[in-house]
Structure 1
Amino acid sequence: MKRIVVVGASAAGLAAAETLRREGYDGTLTLIGDEPHAPYDRPPLSKQILASEWHPDRLALRPPDDLAALDLELRLGTAATGLDPGGRAVLLADGTRVPYDGLVVATGVRPRRLPGDGSAHVLRTLDDALALRAGLGAGRRLVVVGAGFLGAEAAAVARRLGTEVTLLEPAPVPLAHAVGDEVGRVLAAAHLDHGVDLRTGVRVAAVTEGGVRLVGGELVEGDQVLVAVGSLPNTEWLAGSGLTVDDGLVCDQYCEAAPGVYAAGDVARWYNPLFGTPMRVEHRTNAAEQGMAAARNLLHPQARKPFAPVPYFWSEQYGLKVQAFGRLRGHDEVAVVEGDLDERRFTVAYRTGDRLTGVLALGMPPKALRGRRQAIAARSPWRDAVPAARTP
């Protein structure tokens, strides 16, 4: 291959570019990003950046000299708007065509919006975080729509800064779809303990200038509104390309979407043979690992390896660190294997069928998960992996 193009200049895209060079690729390597910034880390946006603990410069994934050493053709601040697979070219917003022999799609996701939320904040980019941060502090009121991990982290930081926070969630238990009712209730209690006005089972009709209007007519007042109701994969630019799009760019177990076209990171919906199901994972660790895997498989098609990770994610709220491995969603059973839910120090395991498929620890040392990731990777039977499990 003489030209490889990576579309998406964040964790997955940078990991793909670095891997290509590390594996010996010395051809033209183009990295395209719609933001003007060099690749930076996103998880700190809802934590250290929002809390004013970090200067934005600390977000850079690599120092300038390391980026320069990759000998990249950088196209920052210009979005990809189309793909011509027949002509093997990426079309950009400025009207240019970037030819390729191999392509890695790593365009990530964007926040979902709500009716009338043009005045509301979202939290995906550095600019988003800085704009939201400017309105936080004592005497200010923030309404957060969506009590998922992003909304919960932002709510926790805002409370720490003295902001009055109302957290709105349509489900009866926050995060139950991701971690189960039991863990969701523990995290909800932490919000209440720290003075958050948590309202569950409510639905938003629209965002207004003065706050949020609920279905039923009630106005929840706020100086700022953060909409954190999930995300959408950035796949619109692939319309008409012939690639299959279904909640992400659909790929096989090698992360290949079409001959010579691979995907990585939040935008990729690939078949994970370890769990026997397609999945799309929006977590930082997965983005880097999948970027590396996609690059290797693109560069060495005769020695491709399935991408079959045990996904990992973490979150921190009110000083409580949540860490999890595996696939937690759609589980059949959750059981405590160490600690106590009431004390907010525990490890829980998740069963799907007769297998251990996930494990989560809250307020526990890293060793609490030691060995359990390997058990998930080995597809260990539930009874063998968690013989001392107890139902909450």
Structure 2
Amino acid sequence: MSVRMRAHMELLVSPHAMKCSMNNHRNVSDFNPCGYAFLADKRTFKASDWQLSGLPDGNASDAVIEWVVETKSCEKAGMNTSSYACRNNTNCNYSKNGQGYRCSCKDGFTGNPYLLPGCQDIDECADRQRYPCKGKCKNTPGNYTCSCPLGMRGDGKTGCQGFGIATIASVTGGTISLVIIGVLLYIVLRKLRKDKNFRENGGMVLKHQRVRIFGEAELAKATENYNDHKKLGEGGFGCVYKGVLPDNTQLAVKKFKGVDRAQMNEEFQHEIGMVLQVNHKNVVKLLGLCLQTKVPLLVYEFISNGTLFHHIHDKKSQVLRTWTDRLRVAAETALALEYLHSLANPPMIHGDVKTVNILLDEDGTAKMADFGASVLISPGQTDIATKIQGTFG
């Protein structure tokens, strides 16, 4: 990099020193016979005031030394990146006594501003004497941050002050109080919602019946929150999920879906009214119900061997391997229908008899299920108004 020396100065050589050099020219080179030379400001230096009998007085004249990289302005020099002298993280400074610019490192950076890669970031956190920090120091490009430790406040560069005990207690106590109030409010609102659902689902009447009332959380835990792999089957009004209680009791939970609450309550009340009348070994037994949910849940005994439909169409099934087994399942199904039509009080017509609604337990015993389409027969009634129900086809 070429550096031009510019100043109001010139090299003055004493003509007298050439004749009467002090020390007999021993301290100068042969090419310059003068005794000594110095820089002086030509505007203020007066040769007549200088006594040649000795060295020049340091106060005899003011000397000004100033240099610039180029005589261009910072803006024009910066337009040509190939010749621009200032490197990364630098400032372009103007000369105070004329045209031209010089380069300097930005605050927080150090190094040579003229050589690549330029000025480098100072790690202020490594020099706590020059860059004080009373807390946690973090270096940033050209600067640093200082945060106070947990439980203290203030500017970490100048000092940190601890919170008063009263302030800490107040903030902590207020936060804990808000959390407690929020939890209590959630519990109260949830209980009110469950109580409302219980009353609207006929709980005040059904709780006096000989049927178990299950809790919403109890059934959700038993079915693993109604996980798909727990699903036993799906019908027009809902799905049936397998559940296991903490005492290892297995059950089947019928969860309604896809219809409005008014229609759901009508379907539920119809089915629960039917099932409560039934008590037969070849009819699926109702274990209980849940009334805390918006839509009630029915809980039946779990029948482990699947549906008759499955065993008829599964060639590998051994349940119907003999005519004896087939006749037995048919007879047990007939017994269930006979009970519903003739022995139940009041009698009822199932309305949706099909192989999907006939279940088989671990012994292969037939169990009639799904009374959503059933019809009660009033005493003395001889004619029943019928309509198409169940599964088409």
Please, what TM-score do these two structures have when normalized by structure 2?
0.19
Higher relative contact order (CA 8 A, sep 6+): 1
Higher strand share: 1
The structure with the largest alpha-carbon Rg is 2
